Amino acid sequence: MEKTIIPIGPYHPLQEEPEFFMLTVEGEKVVDIEVRIGYNHRGIEKLSEMKSFDQSTFLIERICGICSTSHPFAYTRAVEDIIPVEVPERAKYIRTIIAEGERIHSHLLWLGLAGHFLGYNTVYMWVWKLREEILDVMEILTGNRNSYAMFKPGGIRRDIKSEDIPVVIKKMDSIVSTLEMLKKAVIDDPVIHARTKGIGILSKEDAINYCALGPTARASGVARDVRKDSPYGAYDKIEWDMIVTHNGDVFDKLVVRILEVFESIKIIKNCFLNLPGGEIDANIKDIPPGEGIGFIEAPRGECFHYVKSDGTNRPVRHKVRAPTFMNLPTCKATIIGEYISDATIILAAIDPCYCCTERMTVCNTKRKKIYTGKDLIKLSREKTEILRNKMGVK
Amino acid sequence: MIYIFYFLFFGFLLTAIIGLLASWIDRKVTAKVQYRVGPPLLQPLIDIVKLLGKETLIPAGSSKITFLMAPVIGLASVILVSTLLWINNIYPAKSFLGDLIVVLYLLVIPSISIIIGGFASRNPLASLGASREMKLILSYELPFILAILVTVIKSGFTFRLGEILTFQAQNGAFVRSWSGTLALIVAIICMQAKLALVPFDIPEAETEIVGGPLIEYSGSGLAIYRLMKNMLMFTVPFFLIIVFIGGLRLDGIHLLYGVLKYIGLVALMTVIRNTNPRVRIDQAVKFFWGPMTIIAIIAIILALLGR
């Protein structure tokens, strides 16, 4: 049969970020896939090396709007790894609360988008309405709906007011009841079963070989979670379960994410019940020369930061590795042999986040002319001159 | 002359107005279900008028005449079929032999025009959508025709719409019998596929193939397709009302019943479309050739037994 190339991207009405999947199809069956990312490179690592350790936290938060806690969390842990400093207990609990709140809103965002990809727009709208409530909770706790600016090396910037806690717990309970209803509507729907069960299977071996992370790996039966494997924050002090399923298809990834939202709500409530008093900041003065790594479980998997200091107030090297970087190649194992109708939901099932991922771009410089900054300015000036002449402006 | 009046007034104008209104109801109810505000009353009309004023782009390498003619053919067939239905509904005696078959044929042409337009636009996604539309027609036409056959059997093997209507006026609507109810259920689900609404919006699947056959259409071509789809939202339910639920009567209190019948069908369509995700094309074919065809055949057997 003749092979056709179906492009998804770089600018596709479905996707909110620029990325390019080149699907080779025979009829309706996908036989090959080529992924190209790098359209969203912003040079964050370089920028971070030009800012002080304290300013970097705000920059790192802007790597991604959805993971705006995961990156600062991993970064602060990397900085705290350079100086052996003990973070106050209260700060650890509050960090955990914020991180789990982010996990809830990120998973709900994905669930809504998954509904949209399947053509189930009612679920899309309902879930996103529920997500608003979580964002309200985050606004009560931190003052912001997103990009909370709560983290700093050595502690947190803002304390939680004790009068807010009952309000937040009450809101969490109302979210649980709505979520139960949604869970029934999504997990028990026969048409959703037909569309997602047995689709895009990532076997356990493939998950291990591709180094899949987070919910993508846990849906394939790989019990891999930084929160359990090397606990940080308050995760070792409270009760919670890791959700692991074994089929590795889109449905299992969906189930893992929905059940993790319930776990996150449980963690937040437990944290509030056991919230200790005391300081919230260790007051770090200066950072000695050395290297540090920080890794935490972001909503999509392990987020890893490496910071190197030379004793000045700036990092000399800051490396970021987002979970999507590891999860994206698994689509090679999942998508080949599936129908083109399922392609979008399979690609979306890893919950990709490209703006987190894009750290560098490799260009093929052999073929075409390379434009330097000077050339571009020259081109721009020439064009302005042409436009001026056209419009008659002196 | 009187037929030209019917053609223009009932076939085009009235159908378009009711169709646009139905599309507004559909959008508004959908919005309410999804906690949104929804569009104002005139939005469907504004959309079409706006599109008519936009530039029509013709993709390079496409077959120009086919590309531009396809929407016109679709719209023309919808106008023709709604004229036929209105004439039969108002004067059942003016029916001609076999007009039921003509209506069934004409109702397929809008889908065929979408296929032609999709293939003519020379875009891989449009071709994919067109081939899906083709598979979808093949799958839903069989149970749809079987379901309509039930009414033919029950009205004493007549192929005139007018006689089906008069039979129902004398003996009560077919939907009151077991076979009629079963056939109507099958026909409603086939209607969902005919109108390309979720769960059978497979040919257009916005999130998979970005509108499918309509991807290259812009300006007036797209406006005509939109109008055609909105008019179909009246024509197909109207056809089902005529053959199953006794038609629309325009006098006195019966007008209210007629409006209720129609709004009931539109509401049902909206509910189905908002409580289901999209199925895959192979699942749709299995669904229509399996359970739907079997139910339709059961309905035919019941009709032959006189139930």
End-to-end CA distance of chain A: 61
Distance CA A61, CA A102 (A): 12
Measured between CA atoms, the residue of chain A closest to residue B271 is A122
- Quote the pTM value: 0.83
Radius of gyration of chain A (CA): 23
C-alpha distances (whole Å) from B82 to each of B101, B151, B243 are 14, 19, 14
pLDDT (tens digit per residue) in A341-361: 788 888 888 888 877 777 666
A381 Cβ partners below 8 Å, 6+ apart?
none
What's the total number of domains in chain A?
Answer: 1
Q: What is the mean pLDDT of chain B?
A: 86
B276 to chain A: closest CA residue: A120
Instruction: Give the count of beta carbons closer than 10 Å to the beta carbon of residue B77.
Output: 21
Report the b/e string of A41-68 with b at 16+ CB within 10 A: eeebbeebeebebeebbebbbebbebbb
Which strand (E) or helix (H) includes residue A290?
A: strand A290-298
Residue A269: CATH number of its domain: 1.10.645.10
Q: Does any domain span residue A245? A: yes
Nearest to B300 by CA among B191, B182, B188, B189: B182
Residues B34, A121: C-beta atoms closer than 8 Å:
yes
Contacts of B126 in chain A (CB under 8 A): none
pLDDT at B143: 92
Mutate to test the interface with A, among B208, B214, B287 (most CBs of A within 10 A): B208
What DSSP state is assigned to residue A66? T
Distance CA B211, CA A265 (A): 39
pLDDT computed for residue A394 by the predictor: 67
Question: Which positions in chain B touch A13 (Cβ < 8 Å)?
Answer: 206, 210
User: For the residues A226-255, what does the mean pLDDT come to?
Assistant: 87
Give the mean pLDDT of A280-289: 85
Q: Does A194 touch chain B (CB under 8 A)?
A: yes
Q: Which of B33, B277, B283 sits opposite A192 (nearest CB)?
A: B277
Is the separation of the CB atoms in B12 and A99 below 8 Å? no
Judge whether residue A362 has pLDDT over 70. no
| Contact between A338 and A254 (Cβ < 8 Å) | no
A235 to each of A261, A275, A294, A296, how far by Cα in Å?
15, 13, 16, 11
CB-based contacts of A336: which residues, under 8 Å, 6+ apart?
A30, A31, A32, A33
Euclidean distance between CA atoms B248 and B256, whole angstroms: 9
Give the gap in angstroms from C-alpha B261 to the nearest C-alpha of chain A.
26
Backbone angles phi, psi at A310, to 5 degrees: -115, 20
Percent share of chain A, pLDDT over 90? 4
pLDDT at A363: 63
A8, A21 contact by CB (below 8 A):
yes
Does A386 reach chain B within 8 Å, measured CB to CB? no
Mean pLDDT on B180-196: 89
Note whether A115 contacts B277, CB cutoff 8 Å.
yes
Work out the angle between the directed axes of helices B43-52 and B219-244 (0-180°, nearest 10): 140
pLDDT of residue B109: 92
Cα–Cα distances (Å) from A295 to A225, A231, A302, in that order, read 11, 10, 7
B240-265 pLDDT, tens per residue? 888 888 777 777 777 888 888 888 88
Query: Could you give the 3-state DSSP secondary structure of residue B199?
Result: coil
- For the ranges A14-23, A196-205, A264-273, the lowest mean pLDDT is seen at A14-23
Q: Say which residues have a Cβ less than 8 Å from residue B182's Cβ, sequence separation at least 6.
A: B150, B295, B296, B298, B299, B302
- From the list A6, A122, A340, the residue facing B275 with the nearest CB is A122
The pLDDT, as a whole number, for residue A13 is 65
**Quick one: pLDDT at residue B113?**
92
Say whether B210 and A5 touch across the interface (CB within 8 A).
no
Contact between A339 and A29 under an 8 Å Cβ cutoff? The reply is yes
Cβ-in-10-Å burial (0-12, 13-18, 19+) of A236 comes to: exposed
**Phi, psi (5° rounding) for residue B212?**
55, -125
Calculate ∠ Cα B234-B239-B244, nearest 5°.
130
In a domain, residue A363? The reply is: no
What DSSP element (H or E) covers A7?
strand A3-8
Answer whether A28 touches B (CB < 8 Å): yes
* Cα–Cα distances in angstroms (integers) from residue A331 to residues A300, B2, B24, B139, B150, in the given order: 15, 63, 40, 32, 49
pLDDT digits (tens, 9 = 90+) for A241-276: 888 888 888 888 888 999 999 999 989 888 888 888
Judge whether A311 and A78 are in contact, CB under 8 Å. Answer: no
Contact criterion met (CB < 8 Å) for B277 and A195: yes
Among the residues of chain B, which ranges form H helices?
A: 2-5, 15-33, 43-52, 64-90, 99-120, 124-154, 161-171, 178-194, 206-209, 219-244, 253-274, 281-287, 293-304
Residue of A nearest to B215 (CA): A13
Measure in Å the smallest separation between the Cα of B13 and chain A Cα atoms.
Answer: 32
Q: Which domain holds residue A267?
A: 40-332+343-352
Q: Kindly tell me if the per-residue pLDDT of A291 is higher than 80.
A: yes
Give buried/exposed letters for A185-205 (b at 16+ CB in 10 A, else e).
bbeebebbebbbeebbbbeee
Rounded Cα distance, B284 and A191, in Å = 11
- The residue-averaged pLDDT of B103-121 equals 90
SS3 B301: helix
pLDDT at position A17: 77
Kindly report, residue by residue over A147-165, the tens digit of the pLDDT: 888 888 888 888 888 888 8
Chain A 71-130, residues with CB within 8 Å of chain B CB atoms: 115-126, 129
Q: Which one-letter amino acid corresponds to residue A289?
A: P
pLDDT band per the 50, 70, 90 thresholds, residue B85: confident
One-letter amino acid identity for B247?
G
Nearest CA among B287, B274, B81 for reference residue B190: B287
A35 assigned to some structural domain: no
Lowest mean pLDDT among A68-72, A176-180, A298-302, B196-200: B196-200
Q: B1 pLDDT exceeds 70?
A: no
Query: Within a 13 Å sphere around the CA of A87, how many CA atoms are in the beta-carbon half?
Result: 24
A24-76 pLDDT tens trace: 888 778 888 888 877 777 888 888 888 888 888 888 888 888 888 888 999 99
Residue A261 located in a structural domain: yes
Using N-to-C axis directions, what is the helix angle for B178-194 and B253-274, rounded to 10°?
Answer: 60
Each domain of chain B, given as residue ranges in start order, spans: 2-304
Tokens of B243: 């053959």
Residue of B nearest to A11 (CA): B210
pLDDT in tens, A81-126: 888 888 888 888 988 999 999 999 999 998 888 888 888 888 888 8
Read off the amino acid at residue A24: T
